């Protein structure tokens, strides 16, 4: 199922300015390897949200090779920092090259391992946490990430409409995980959540 009509997606892309050489190369790799990056429409939203919240501390759960982190870095306050996490050492190595190219290597601390364990090991609270790990983990992410947000901070969760599978009878663990996450996020008193039906559905949960 298309979340947005394809003609609307084409229109949004036609409005979106070309990216710099680094982001374009990352987008080319994503297309070639079918690697699920957030893409430029959501990338611009991440940059806006960092600007809007005057973000100084961002924690990414599931950073891939750094595409979402580069968009965040462009909205980060001076002196701010981003902690990236991913289970793949190959992604970490590729990200290091792209962060150097984008001249943001000084802002980013990339850690390899299980994202939720790495969050538990890191002290402090965050202006933004990005949730983009395996989808069956989403309910656990909600429970572990919300307490780590500052008041007014944002949990940003990608793929919350899951190509429309959330409304069908698909009972795959990924789909079930996203449905459970969405219920938690909408029912919780600790956050106020909306889903923006952009690309694959981006949930924004603001900490009360």
Ligand X SMILES: C[S@@+](CC[C@H](N)C(=O)[O-])C[C@H]1O[C@@H](n2cnc3c(N)ncnc32)[C@H](O)[C@@H]1O
Of 77 and 112, the one with the shorter C-beta distance to ligand X is 112
Is 200 an interacting residue with respect to ligand X (CB under 6 A)?
no
The 75-114 contact track toward ligand X, x by CB under 6 A, reads ----------xxxx--x----------------------x
Q: 50 and 130 in contact (C-beta within 8 Å)?
A: no
- Hey, how many other C-beta atoms are within 10 angstroms of the C-beta on 195? 18
Counts for the chain of helices (H) and strands (E), in that order: 8, 7
**Cβ neighbourhood burial of 5 (10 Å; 0-12, 13-18, 19+):** exposed
Is 68 an interacting residue with respect to ligand X (CB under 6 A)?
yes
CB of 8 to ligand X, least distance (A): 21
Residues 30 to 49 in contact with ligand X, rule: CB under 6 A? 36-38
Of 80 and 87, the one with the shorter C-beta distance to ligand X is 87
Of 62 and 153, the one with the shorter C-beta distance to ligand X is 62
Of 71 and 182, the one with the shorter C-beta distance to ligand X is 71
Spatial distance between the Cα atoms of 89 and 47, rounded to a whole number of angstroms: 26
Distances (CA, A) of 144 to 61, 155, 206: 11, 11, 15
Q: 49 and 126 in contact (C-beta within 8 Å)?
A: no
Size of the site for ligand X (CB under 6 A): 19
CB of 44 to ligand X, least distance (A): 13
Spatial distance between the Cα atoms of 95 and 82, rounded to a whole number of angstroms: 13
Which chain residues interact with ligand X by CB under 6 A?
36-38, 62-64, 67-68, 85-88, 91, 114-115, 132-134, 137
């Amino acid at each position: 199922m298309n979340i947005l009509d394809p003609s609307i997606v084409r229109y949004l892309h036609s409005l979106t300015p070309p990216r710099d050489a680094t982001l374009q190369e990352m987008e080319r790799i994503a297309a070639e390897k079918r690697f699920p990056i957030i893409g430029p429409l959501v990338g611009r939203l991440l940059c806006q949200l960092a600007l809007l919240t005057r973000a100084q501390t961002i924690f990414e759960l599931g950073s891939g090779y750094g595409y979402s982190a580069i968009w965040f870095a462009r909205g980060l306050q001076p002196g701010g920092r981003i902690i990236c996490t991913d289970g793949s050492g190959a992604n970490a190595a590729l990200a290091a090259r792209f962060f150097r190219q984008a001249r943001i290597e000084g802002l980013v601390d990339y850690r390899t391992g299980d994202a939720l364990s790495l969050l538990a090991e890191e002290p402090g609270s965050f202006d933004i946490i990005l949730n983009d790990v395996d989808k069956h983990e989403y309910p656990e992410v909600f429970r572990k990430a919300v307490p780590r947000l500052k008041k007014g901070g944002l949990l940003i969760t990608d793929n919350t409409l899951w190509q429309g599978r959330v409304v069908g009878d698909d009972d795959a663990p990924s789909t079930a995980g996203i449905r459970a996450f969405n219920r938690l996020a909408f029912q919780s008193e600790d956050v106020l959540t909306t889903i923006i039906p952009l690309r694959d559905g981006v949930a924004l949960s603001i900490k009360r």
